[in-house]
Structure 1
Amino acid sequence: MSYTTRKDLFEKIETHRSRPLIAYVTSIRPNFSGQMAGDSVDYIIKQIQSIPTTQREIDFLIISNGGDPITALRIISLLRERFDKISVLLPYVAYSAATILSLGADEIIMHPYSNLGPVDPQLTVSRQSDNGQASQLQFSSEDIRNYIDFVKSDVGITDQEHLISAFNALAKEVGPLPIGSSKRSQQLSLSSSIKMLETHMEDKSKAAEIAKALNSSYYHHGYAVGRSEAKSIGLNIVFPDPELETLMWNVWCDYSNEMKCGSEFNIVTAIMTNPTVITWLNSATTINLPVNTPPPIAQNIIGNIAQQSATITPQPPIQIKELVATIESPRSAMAIHTTFSITYWRDANMALSFNATQYSEGWKIV
């Protein structure tokens, strides 16, 4: 459950494949997922520079829920400048921008449990309700298109006046600028996908057909496109041999364990399971009352004792560190963590309270 373990697996993959490997992984932990972002590019360049110039083929392993599509374009562009053949290895998920990156490979080697995903971009708009409550609305251009289609086809509204009223209701709910932004994002995603495919496909019409299928053929952004389906839409999907399949899965399992992808992140749970906090909670003074003490009297007694004896004293802060993303190879490794510095205390009523400060120090050498 560390880079040391994965380094050994990477070396075995490189030996098996007779070419260098670079791995880019962002956390997919629920409530704490990482994103593909531009700050990774410099460190991917460093990985490329560490590879002998005699090597003209590269394996790029990626696991991610997505992120910035421009980062995907940049990574493939860098790899194309340096290598004659790019193979993307997918041990597990490669959604959104990670799918766009995969489209730029000459071949996509997919584990049986891996998947690509739709590339329709998702937008999030902050809103405030009439009662002042803040909320967020997530949508895509496909949602807008399907709303208009629903009004026309399902409701049966066809006259211009009522269509304008329906659109005005949409604009009021979402906002005119976000609607325009969603269209622009869809165009970026579609053009990026086409460009990725055209880096290795001579048939431009086929590239456009595949890109359009991934951009608008699926009805949910989280739809999992398995390897057989990916192959059926025209992608060059390769099934790994048993040895490579096992190595790829072991890589994912090690990442999953270190990033705790199997459990949802909850800061209260993280605090309550921290050994320092557990020790402190167990040392708290207990108040022993007769079993038959009436609840109102018991509450008064506890409140009086708490007010007389309890002082609100913050405990020394604890540090909770979570792995967000890594860029690794057998030659070197970089990682980015998010740290929560948490001060905690008991209120006068003995309830546990805390204050958390979240920060990151950026990419660091492992």
Structure 2
Amino acid sequence: MTEDEASVRLLELAAASAEIYDADIILYSGDISDVGFGKIVETILTTRNRENIVLVMTTNGGSANSAYQIARFIQKVYKKFYLYAPSYCKSAGTIVALGAHELIMDPFSELGPLDVQLLKQNELGARKSGLLTKSAFEGLADASLTVFERLMLPIMQKSGGLVNFQLAAELSSTMTAAMMSTIFAKLDPDTVGSDKRDLEVAFDYGIRLIEKSGNASHATVMHLVQHYPAHDFIIDDEEASDLFENVSFPDPNLMGLASLLGSRAYDESEDVQVISLSAMATDQRSDDNERSTQEEAASNGDGVHTARSRRTDRKGNSKSKGDKDEDILTDNPVNAAPETDLAGGNGEGTPIKDA
């Protein structure tokens, strides 16, 4: 399959998916941020064509605030919100998932704990997991208990009964405190409190979103916050089916669409990419219909072929048939892919070339 053929096939799959789900098909790939929220708003407002949406999302996470804004905006604009995770949709991405009425997942899909990514102090652009401080505190508490037990029992055993339980416990407590106090002192109370607060924010956002989506319970949101040991812990499609009410397998057309999108669907883009795939398919179909009409008119000899047909884009601007769709294919990355073909290489799941 050539690149041109792969691009045509991609748009055919986008159109078919839009028909099957009766939804706009929008790709979001990248960090969840204010920039991403702005792009999703602009894309939806300029390309919305149906009552439902399938958001194809690939992200490692980002801002909990932006995730909540994205999910709430989609809930307000669309009647039904599907979220398809062809690859990983973690952290703040899981917050967005809680706002969806239905999750679409396959064996390659991943959600993650409801764990916000916090900026590291004195490190520009670097982030840390909100679970780190919690895990550190729990680990030190477990270590303290272990030290206490290992000190107290030998004291009682080696004393030959001369030291009773109460005295052994007091001695062990004193020694444990002396050993662990310097380590606990390194924990900044402000950091502990701040991280706890941020995790509570993620929890509260999740609760508000499921009140609209109805796709999870309060217990599920609490589970996503508290019951996973690490930020990158994988929640696959089977576990997601236990946590969420509505989880379905993707239609073959939607899976094929993700495959042809390649790296845009399976890897987080360095710069946030928001693309209305269904809108591009609609535009292509309109172009094909117009070209067919012109060719038919020309074959009938009525002279229509001598004039350049004009059309109107989604923003109301008049365009010539020969003009490029600048707002969709080139200059505006909000609504479309870069100038390179959407599908790269042989079209069989080959990653798309970056612009």
- TM-score when normalising by structure 1: 0.60
Which residue does 1:200 correspond to in 2?
213
Picking from 224, 239, 254, the partner of 1:229 is 239
Which residue does 1:170 correspond to in 2?
184
Larger strand share, 1 or 2: 1
Which residue does 2:146 correspond to in 1?
154
Which residue does 2:134 correspond to in 1?
142
Larger helix share, 1 or 2: 2
1:144-183 deviation per Cα after TM superposition (whole angstroms, max 9, x unaligned): 34224314543347988766984663342x4332222211
> What secondary structure does 1:140 align onto?
helix
How far residue 10 of structure 1 moved from its aligned partner, in angstroms, is: 2.9
- Off by >6 Å, runs of 4+ in structure 1: 135-138, 157-161
Which protein is bigger by CA-based radius of gyration? 2
Q: Structure 1: which 5+ runs fail to align?
A: 27-34, 129-134, 262-321, 337-365
Picking from 255, 274, 279, the partner of 2:264 is 255
Separation (CA, whole Å) in 1 of partners of 2:92 and 2:44: 21
Is 2:198 the partner of 1:185? yes
Which residue does 2:33 correspond to in 1?
37
Which residue does 2:22 correspond to in 1?
18
Give the 3 Å change call, closer, same or farther, for CA 51–325 of structure 1 in structure 2: closer
- TM-score when normalising by structure 2: 0.61
Is 2:46 the partner of 1:50? yes
Which residue does 1:301 correspond to in 2?
none
Residue identity opposite 2:43 in structure 1: Q
Picking from 222, 234, 237, the partner of 1:212 is 222
Matches of residues 1-366 of structure 1 in structure 2 within 5 Å? 7=11, 9-26=13-30, 35-52=31-48, 55-123=50-118, 125-126=120-121, 140-156=132-148, 166=180, 169-172=183-186, 174-201=187-214, 207-251=217-261, 253-255=262-264, 323-330=270-277, 331=279, 332=328, 334-335=332-333
Residue identity opposite 1:188 in structure 2: V
Q: Say what the alpha-carbon RMSD is for the aligned residues.
A: 3.5
How far residue 51 of structure 1 moved from its aligned partner, in angstroms, is: 4.1
Separation (CA, whole Å) in 2 of partners of 1:168 and 1:180: 19
> What secondary structure does 2:271 align onto?
strand
Separation (CA, whole Å) in 2 of partners of 1:122 and 1:245: 29
> What secondary structure does 2:89 align onto?
coil
Separation (CA, whole Å) in 2 of partners of 1:45 and 1:66: 18
- Equivalent residues of 1:89, 1:109 under 8 A apart: yes
Residue identity opposite 1:43 in structure 2: K
- Equivalent residues of 2:75, 2:81 under 8 A apart: yes
Separation (CA, whole Å) in 2 of partners of 1:51 and 1:335: 13
> What secondary structure does 1:77 align onto?
helix
Residue identity opposite 1:327 in structure 2: V
Residue identity opposite 2:257 in structure 1: L
Aligned length: 255
Residue identity opposite 2:189 in structure 1: P
> What secondary structure does 2:183 align onto?
helix
Separation (CA, whole Å) in 2 of partners of 1:201 and 1:11: 28
- Equivalent residues of 1:119, 1:214 under 8 A apart: yes
1:43-71 deviation per Cα after TM superposition (whole angstroms, max 9, x unaligned): 21122213457x32111110000101111
Separation (CA, whole Å) in 2 of partners of 1:110 and 1:240: 6
**Higher RCO structure (Cα 8 Å, ≥6 apart):** 2
Residue identity opposite 1:102 in structure 2: A
Give the 3 Å change call, closer, same or farther, for CA 228–151 of structure 1 in structure 2: same
Separation (CA, whole Å) in 2 of partners of 1:164 and 1:21: 60
Separation (CA, whole Å) in 1 of partners of 2:177 and 2:204: 30
